[in-house]
Structure 1
Amino acid sequence: MKKTFLLLLFLFSLSIFSQKKRSTKIGNVNIDELKMSTYEKDSTANAVVLFEHANYYLDESKEYKKTTDYYFKIKILKKEGAEKATIKIPFYGEEKVHSIKGITYNLSENNSVHKTHLLESKIYTKDLYTKWKELTFTLPNIKEGSVIEYTYSITSPYSKIDDWYFQSDIPKIKSDFTASILGNWKYNIRIIGFLKLIRNNASVKKNCISIPGLGSGSCLILEYGIDDIPAFKEEDYMLSKENFISKVSFELESYSNPRGGVEKFTKTWKDADRSLKYNFLDNQISKKNFFKKQLDPSILTTINDLERAKKVYSFIQNHFHWNEKYWPSRKVRIKEAFENKSGNIFDINLALYNSLQAAEIESYLTLTSTRNRAVPTKLHPVIDEFNYLIVKIIVDNKTYFLDATKKQLPFGLVQYQALNGDGRVMDFKKGSFWETITSNKKTYRNTKAQLTLNDNNELSGNLMISSDGYFAVKNRDKLSLKSHEDFVENFESDHSNIEIEDFDFKNIKDNDKALHQIYNITFDEVDFKNKLRLNPFLIKKHTVNPFKLNTREYPVDFAYPRNDTYMLSLNLPENYTIKKLPENKTLSLPNKGGRYILSYRKNENTLTVYAKISINKKVYSSEEYHYLKEFYNQIIKSQDVFIEIEKVSE
């Protein structure tokens, strides 16, 4: 997180309304809290926050720098909750962490309260990276049933007000945030998450400051609070929890100095476009003449626009090595990156953009962010929220989004981690705008097994797994990192009953075609005397539901639609017969959101099994969660079945 340093004038002659009195003091533990053994609203909780409070204000004793006093009281319910006694406090640059106090409370056998105080010698500080440091301490004498209580303060010269998280990975009984903000500092305040504020008070305190010769000023007094807060539980197929976890967030909008000047920090998109074009990009979007010289003349003379775009894409993709870095910490130097054949996301895709411009392909830079970060807000531009760059092109009235950073990506597909909400298309002539990032590749996997059971009870045959889109990118990525033999060994370890006799891979390097994994396989000896119970999902079987919560307040984000098909053809000897088959099944999600088809067909001594899971949407709302959960429950149940095969007496 980048901190913006702003020097306040006139501070030394300033007198201010004291918000410090609102800070919670240590020493608030009672017998009932120590006797508490479970939290009735969440019996699974290892610990529960009894009360927490942050109070932000200007501290007269600290030269009127901005101070936040923190107070926490936590009940340890189970031994696993002891980790909550270790506190880690990151801080930046000239920030100071001080006034640290901590007490562990335990109940003795005679019901008396025993206190163990945190020793100053047990407080440690270490360097992290750049100007970041971390202060750490662990409350002593932690047991099941302990209550810990600790306070600390952070004093800062910076304008940033840190987010306050009402929600965390453990439940909370009460959480409060209070603040006194000078009236000449204006912030965009956002309440994020699905929980409603119980305490939501904002008022103006007049004459909270007095500056000799300039008169008095006002303060904005804030009070936010929530009670009975459930733990935030993460689950598969979700974007960053920062999008959904309940918190209050502050973004500095402007600062008015006492002499009448105003400095704006929240800009319009017009301002942001200009800043990105001329300052951050440092004229790197005007290098098409350089890249025109780098492109083979045969590329530039290709008549078909789409083919020309594909050749440019292939050239840049194969020229560069991605250094695994995203938003650059330095100014972008794409000529230097091109010569070194290595660069970050911005180096590579800016080179792609300039090359497409040189090839006269309509193209636009598009900003987005990775899935481990919050989706960029659309309320106003916050440039720091973006850390990824892709390129949008339009050919024959069709839109493609391109990302040349990874060798395994086909034309028209961007890295999975860049699929994080809409992208901001930077049209420097008409102005930037939001647009949904689309894919020009369907994602699917077809698993097809043709197996034969012979008279010696040996089961063997051919297996082909064909994949495209993101499924193919994932497998190509694995194949690029290890030898084919190691890849096959990993496949065998994932399917312990299968031995691969021979294998072949097709279209490994041709990203625009489906990847084919072809195997000759045998199974472990089948235990078969007169009867056999055989699960038909020999290669791919769903056993775990990714959705386990009773309710989920945030949406399910698959990132892209996908199809997964399983086909089995099982040939039996003439004196064998299939006595019992499981039932066919068809499931559908509401609003054409998805479909599951399972069918069995018997033709003489051949059994055919067909199963297909279709996920038709990228995102499902929290209201659709129950249907998705039950959808997968039924899939798992339908695949936990057996075919009964008998040997017929001769």
Structure 2
Amino acid sequence: MKKLILSLAATLAAVSLLQAQEPDYRFGKVSEEELRMERYDRDPDAEAVVLCEEVRTYYLIGNQFTRMTDYFIRIKVLKAEGKEYADVELPYVFQRENYANLDAVAYNLVDGKVVKTPLKKQYLFREQVGEEQWLLKFSVPEVREGTVIEYRYRMNSDFITYIPTIVVQHDIPTEYIRAAVEIPEYLRFNIDTKGYLSLDMQENVIAGRIAGTNVPYNVREIRLEGRDIPALKKEPFVWNRNEFRSMIDFELSQLALPFTQVENFSSSWKDVNELLSKIDFNDNIHMGNPFKKEVDAIVAQKPAPRQMLHEILRMVQSHMKWDGKYRLMSPSPNDAVKRGSGNSAEINSVLMAAVKDAGFDVVPILLNPRSMGRLPQMYATLDGINTFILRVTLDDGKFAYLDGTDPDSDVDLLPTELLVDRARIYGVDGNVGWCDISQLSPSSTVINMNLHFDSDLSLRGWITERFTNQSAMQYSSACTKAGSEEKYAEGLEESHHIRIDSLTINGRGSALLTQQYAMTRETEKAGDFIYLDATVIPFLSENPFRSAERSYPVEFDSADSYLIQGTIRLPEGYVVEELPRAVRLNAFNGDITCSYIVQAANGAIQFRMQFKQKRLIFQPGEYADLQAFYGAVVNMCNGKIVLRKQQ
């Protein structure tokens, strides 16, 4: 009996210890252990960590229908960079949404005692960022390395058909998250889970009751709980990092309010097309041509079809400048014509009218720019479409693509942002409506060098560079952004580590740009030796893939091909001491290749480097091989041509 009592006491003590170790996630219950924490063991480099995050979205139904969100977060600042999480911006729509019960506190350990510093209400600020869009802004005071931050609020909104996204994965790690969404039976939402993490979601049906009555209704309850959520690290070569962030999106599919007719929303692409045919979008793409006189003059010249499209594009762009905003619809493109500027919907609606007036068949291609995320494949959406481009049918049955936003674009030459692998052909239903334009215009770069050594042993000569498609647009845009060819040449000098004595550029704003320049480059000398880089001007000096592993795909801008070749005449009295070894690399069944060869003969060195990448997207499981391939290319580029002075 004595042993049983002792065993029971030990068990109770163990349970008590486990309870004591479990953090208290109530507001204001920050522990000394959390304040003494110096790093997060699962991510030692983290600048901060979310210790706890709780969010609950639900509805109050009475005389009014209101969506409510209760939010609470506790963050530990581990490094100076983590102080940025004390600066908070909460968006809302004026007169339709507001925040209540907002509290924010900083906790610091000072001389072994917990010191609390609450946010004073006078340090809450409101900033207007749009016609109706505002931000509620505050900075939690007294935040430094070691501080624990807490804030909470309640937000109420009359936008009942919208449920905010639940973000499970942040840019910093999360120790614990708990979320709940409670949806009354009068609203139905499509639920889209994103990211590579496995989320522990549960669904239940619970009872609700209309306020002030005994009228019951069913509530769809969605709950999520997670621990030790890793940070979504910033990595190169990704179109939209949020596509791979673990989160839950909600899109309204049906509205069935009491005593009203049931409304269905975007349950199929056929529904999306039908809805677009009844609103401003349809009116805009069937508008009359405001530049009829200009189009008639172009048509009268009887240029070839692609040249005609080019001239119409340039004409519209000469009258309308893009304001930098992507939109699917606009109330009045004609007003944008009068202003001389407009968003993507306004410019492309006018461009479509002009192209149709020239006798072409045109259809809109609906899409999301890369930075805004792909269209979902599992369900149809209207909210997820942010712009459109034009697909023109030519006499031979082939297609040409146009977009009027970027002045450096051309026929079949679109901004990289719009080269998506998941777009929709307007008016086409089902799977046949998908359109992949990600490799519409593969990029090509050819660089030829003819070089010799000057009397001071600096390298001089001519370089001719030929850029096709996306690379041509990239360099056209760089020249436009620089403001002048002189400024552009300065940037070229910096990137190539050379001095440019003269520069000629041809083909700006087209699919073929060439530039030629006389250059001088100081050489690396040591005693009787001269050292040159394997390709003279840099191609790839360091591996862009530095992380040991990657949890989401690598997405390149375009399919690329590079050819760098040249002839270098040896300086008098020098011989070749050493040449880089020949290299031939092939990975992913030829989707990416690289080769290098160099030889010396008849007083000159000739080299040739060729790099080809056919595929845009590489999955996480391919990352190690991709990293190794780029590492081998870097090693090749870092090879040296060594010349020695004869004795």
Do Structure 1 and Structure 2 share a fold, with TM-score over 0.5? yes
Deviations 1:302-329 (A, max 9, x none): 4965555455445445554333332177
Cα deviation, residue 372, structure 1: 1.9
* Counterpart secondary structure, 2:405: coil
Deviations 1:219-255 (A, max 9, x none): 1222112211111112222121221111111112222
1:229-244 correspondence to structure 2 within 5 Å? 229-244=229-244
Deviations 1:148-180 (A, max 9, x none): 222111111221211111111110011111122
Deviations 1:39-74 (A, max 9, x none): 111000111111110012235899663221111111
What corresponds to 1:521 in structure 2?
519
What corresponds to 1:13 in structure 2?
none
* Counterpart secondary structure, 1:204: strand
1:438/1:357 CA distance change after superposition, 3 Å: farther
What corresponds to 1:5 in structure 2?
none
Q: Counterparts of 2:87 and 2:339 in 1: how far apart (Å)?
A: 45
Q: Counterparts of 1:412 and 1:293 in 2: how far apart (Å)?
A: 25
What corresponds to 1:557 in structure 2?
555
* Counterpart secondary structure, 2:589: helix
The TM-score, its normalising length taken from structure 2, stands at 0.88
1:493/1:431 CA distance change after superposition, 3 Å: closer
1:459-538 correspondence to structure 2 within 5 Å? 459-481=459-481, 482-496=483-497, 498-508=498-508, 511-512=510-511, 514-524=512-522, 527=525, 529-538=527-536
Q: Counterparts of 2:615 and 2:254 in 1: how far apart (Å)?
A: 41
Kept in 1: contact 2:280–2:329 (CA 8 A): no
Which of 88, 96, 99 pairs up with 1:97? Answer: 99
Q: Does 1:177 align with 2:186?
A: no
Q: Does 1:203 align with 2:204?
A: yes
**Matched length:** 620
1:502/1:385 CA distance change after superposition, 3 Å: same
Q: Counterparts of 1:68 and 1:242 in 2: how far apart (Å)?
A: 22
1:116-135 correspondence to structure 2 within 5 Å? 116-135=117-136
| Alignment gaps of 5+ in structure 2 | 1-23
What corresponds to 1:613 in structure 2?
611
Q: Counterparts of 2:61 and 2:322 in 1: how far apart (Å)?
A: 50
What one-letter code is carried by the residue in structure 2 that aligns with 1:177? A
Q: Mean Cα displacement is larger for which, 368-377 or 163-172?
A: 368-377
1:430/1:87 CA distance change after superposition, 3 Å: closer
* Counterpart secondary structure, 2:465: strand
Percent identity of paired positions between Structure 1 and Structure 2: 24
Q: Counterparts of 1:340 and 1:27 in 2: how far apart (Å)?
A: 54
* Counterpart secondary structure, 1:405: coil
Cα deviation, residue 339, structure 1: 5.8
What one-letter code is carried by the residue in structure 2 that aligns with 1:249? D
What corresponds to 2:7 in structure 1?
none
Q: Counterparts of 2:446 and 2:526 in 1: how far apart (Å)?
A: 30
Q: Counterparts of 1:79 and 1:296 in 2: how far apart (Å)?
A: 63
1:253/1:317 CA distance change after superposition, 3 Å: same
1:334-353 correspondence to structure 2 within 5 Å? 334=334, 336-338=335-337, 341-353=340-352
Q: Does 1:283 align with 2:279?
A: no
Cα deviation, residue 453, structure 1: 1.7
What corresponds to 2:50 in structure 1?
49
Cα deviation, residue 288, structure 1: 5.7
1:235-254 correspondence to structure 2 within 5 Å? 235-254=235-254
Deviations 1:97-121 (A, max 9, x none): 1111233222343x44333333223
* Counterpart secondary structure, 1:32: helix
Kept in 1: contact 2:580–2:641 (CA 8 A): yes
What corresponds to 1:355 in structure 2?
354
Kept in 1: contact 2:53–2:176 (CA 8 A): yes
1:78/1:441 CA distance change after superposition, 3 Å: closer
Q: Counterparts of 1:365 and 1:485 in 2: how far apart (Å)?
A: 40
* Counterpart secondary structure, 1:393: strand
Cα deviation, residue 550, structure 1: 2.2
Kept in 2: contact 1:288–1:357 (CA 8 A): no
Q: Mean Cα displacement is larger for which, 544-553 or 463-472?
A: 544-553
Q: Counterparts of 1:401 and 1:309 in 2: how far apart (Å)?
A: 10
Kept in 1: contact 2:270–2:429 (CA 8 A): no
What one-letter code is carried by the residue in structure 1 that aligns with 2:274? R
Q: Mean Cα displacement is larger for which, 24-33 or 614-623?
A: 24-33
Q: Counterparts of 1:500 and 1:260 in 2: how far apart (Å)?
A: 72
What one-letter code is carried by the residue in structure 2 that aligns with 1:488? A
Q: Counterparts of 1:70 and 1:48 in 2: how far apart (Å)?
A: 17
* Counterpart secondary structure, 1:491: helix
1:298/1:494 CA distance change after superposition, 3 Å: closer
Kept in 2: contact 1:564–1:612 (CA 8 A): yes
What corresponds to 2:189 in structure 1?
187
Cα deviation, residue 370, structure 1: 1.5
What corresponds to 2:14 in structure 1?
none
* Counterpart secondary structure, 1:372: helix
1:190-339 correspondence to structure 2 within 5 Å? 190-198=192-200, 200-206=201-207, 208-210=208-210, 215-259=215-259, 261-281=261-281, 283-287=283-287, 294-296=294-296, 299=299, 302=302, 305-306=305-306, 308-327=308-327, 330-334=330-334, 336-338=335-337
Kept in 2: contact 1:328–1:344 (CA 8 A): no
Aligned-residue CA RMSD in angstroms?
2.9
1:303/1:288 CA distance change after superposition, 3 Å: farther
Kept in 2: contact 1:299–1:312 (CA 8 A): no
What corresponds to 1:17 in structure 2?
none
Kept in 2: contact 1:531–1:647 (CA 8 A): yes
Kept in 1: contact 2:36–2:146 (CA 8 A): yes
Kept in 2: contact 1:281–1:332 (CA 8 A): no
What corresponds to 1:376 in structure 2?
375
Q: Mean Cα displacement is larger for which, 144-153 or 314-323?
A: 314-323
* Counterpart secondary structure, 2:371: coil
Q: Counterparts of 1:258 and 1:433 in 2: how far apart (Å)?
A: 36
Cα deviation, residue 535, structure 1: 2.3
Cα deviation, residue 466, structure 1: 1.2
Q: Counterparts of 1:570 and 1:304 in 2: how far apart (Å)?
A: 43
Cα deviation, residue 479, structure 1: 2.6
Q: Counterparts of 2:387 and 2:231 in 1: how far apart (Å)?
A: 31
Deviations 1:555-574 (A, max 9, x none): 22213201122223111135
Cα deviation, residue 338, structure 1: 4.6
1:439/1:239 CA distance change after superposition, 3 Å: closer
Cα deviation, residue 196, structure 1: 0.9
1:615/1:292 CA distance change after superposition, 3 Å: same
Q: Counterparts of 2:397 and 2:450 in 1: how far apart (Å)?
A: 43
Cα deviation, residue 523, structure 1: 2.3
Kept in 2: contact 1:105–1:116 (CA 8 A): yes
1:640/1:212 CA distance change after superposition, 3 Å: closer
| Alignment gaps of 5+ in structure 1 | 1-22
Deviations 1:420-466 (A, max 9, x none): 33221113799982211155543111222211124542421111111
Q: Mean Cα displacement is larger for which, 288-297 or 561-570?
A: 288-297
Q: Counterparts of 2:214 and 2:262 in 1: how far apart (Å)?
A: 16
* Counterpart secondary structure, 1:473: helix
* Counterpart secondary structure, 1:188: strand
Q: Counterparts of 2:132 and 2:630 in 1: how far apart (Å)?
A: 47
1:287/1:221 CA distance change after superposition, 3 Å: closer
What corresponds to 1:140 in structure 2?
141
Cα deviation, residue 533, structure 1: 2.6
1:390/1:231 CA distance change after superposition, 3 Å: same
1:643/1:51 CA distance change after superposition, 3 Å: same
What corresponds to 1:7 in structure 2?
none
What corresponds to 1:11 in structure 2?
none
Q: Counterparts of 1:30 and 1:346 in 2: how far apart (Å)?
A: 53
Kept in 2: contact 1:291–1:358 (CA 8 A): no
1:313/1:432 CA distance change after superposition, 3 Å: farther
What corresponds to 1:625 in structure 2?
623
Kept in 2: contact 1:273–1:431 (CA 8 A): no
Q: Counterparts of 1:137 and 1:340 in 2: how far apart (Å)?
A: 37
Q: Counterparts of 1:282 and 1:146 in 2: how far apart (Å)?
A: 54
Q: Counterparts of 1:539 and 1:92 in 2: how far apart (Å)?
A: 52
Q: Counterparts of 1:98 and 1:49 in 2: how far apart (Å)?
A: 23
